[in-house]
Amino acid sequence: MQYRELAVPGAFEITPKQFGDPRGVFLEWFKAAAFEEALGHPLDLQQANCSVSSAGVLRGIHFADVPPGQAKYVTCAKGAVLDVVVDIRVGSPTFGRWDSVLLDDTDRRAIYLGEGLGHAFMALEDGSTVMYMCSTGYNPGREHGVHPLDPAIGIDWPTTARDGSPLSPLLSEKDEAAPTLDEAAAQGLLPTAEAVDEYVRSLRR
C-alpha cells in the first residue's frame, strides 16, 4: 500500500497491492497501521457511506465545520469517478488549489481527505459506486457546499465518459444553489487553516 500526498496538503492518494488469480482479485483498501504511519494519527471511523451515481453526476464540493470537520477515506468499488479535493482553508498557502485522483475498479486506488478540505466527484460510468469512511457522522447543520463549477476554482471536469460518450455535469438542486468559493468565504462558512491545523495536531497527541 503506497501513500502519495497530493498538491493539496492533507490529502493523499492510496494505491493498494492487488492479488489476482483465475478466481478474481483480493486487496486491502484500508489498513489502520499503514494509515497511522503515513499521517501520524489514526482514522476515527464513525460512519461509512455508499453512493451510486449515473454517468455525469457531479457531487460536491462538500465540507464540514472545523472542529471537528469530517475526514473521508474514499474508493470506487464499481465503475469510475474523478475524485477531487479542494483547499478551502482560509489562510492556507494553497487556498483555492485543487487536485484529483481517478478512482476506478481497475487500479482500485483510494483517496484520503483530511478535515477542512472540500470534496467532490464526477461519475464516469453508470452505476459508479463510491464507498467512503468518515471520521464524523452526518450533521446537516454543520455541513456546507461550494459550487463545483465555480470558475475561480477552475476544476477541469471530464467531458467524456469511460465508454467515450460525451458527459454533461448533473448536479443536485442543493449543489446547484451552493455559493462560490468567494461567496462562502464572505459568508464565514469556510474553515480557517489555523483551526484545521490545531485540530489535526490534537489527533496526534
pLDDT more than 90, % of the chain: 99
Number of domains in the chain: 1
Range of the domain at 160: 2-196
Q: Is residue 62 flagged as an active site residue?
A: yes
Of residues 189 and 204, the one with the higher pLDDT is: 189
Catalytic one of 73, 112, 119, 132? 132
Confidence (pLDDT) at 186:
97
Residues 127, 133, 138, 141, CA torsion sign: negative
Q: Is residue 132 flagged as an active site residue?
A: yes
SS (H, E, C) the chain: CEEEECCCCCEEEEECCEEEECCEEEECCCCHHHHHHHHCCCCCCCEEEEEEECCCEEEEEEEECCCCCCCEEEEEEECEEEEEEEECCECCCCCCCEEEEEEECCCCCEEEECCCEEEEEEECCCCEEEEEEECCCCCHHHEEECCCCCCCCCCCCCCECCCCCECCCECCHHHHCCCCHHHHHHCCCCCEHHHHHHHHHHHCC
Give domain status of residue 156, yes or no: yes
Beta bridge partners of 2: 15
Whether the model clears a pTM of 0.85, i.e. scores above it, the answer is yes
Query: Could you tell me the strand order of the sheet in which 58-64 lies?
Result: 98-104, 80-87, 117-123, 58-64, 143-145
pLDDT, tens digit (0-9, with 9 covering 90-100), for 52-79: 999 999 999 999 999 999 999 999 999 9
Give domain status of residue 205, yes or no: no
Task: Give the C-alpha separation, 192 to 175, whole Å.
Answer: 22
pLDDT, tens digit (0-9, with 9 covering 90-100), for 151-202: 999 999 999 999 999 999 999 999 999 999 999 999 999 999 999 999 999 9
Q: What is the CATH number of the domain that holds 144?
A: 2.60.120.10
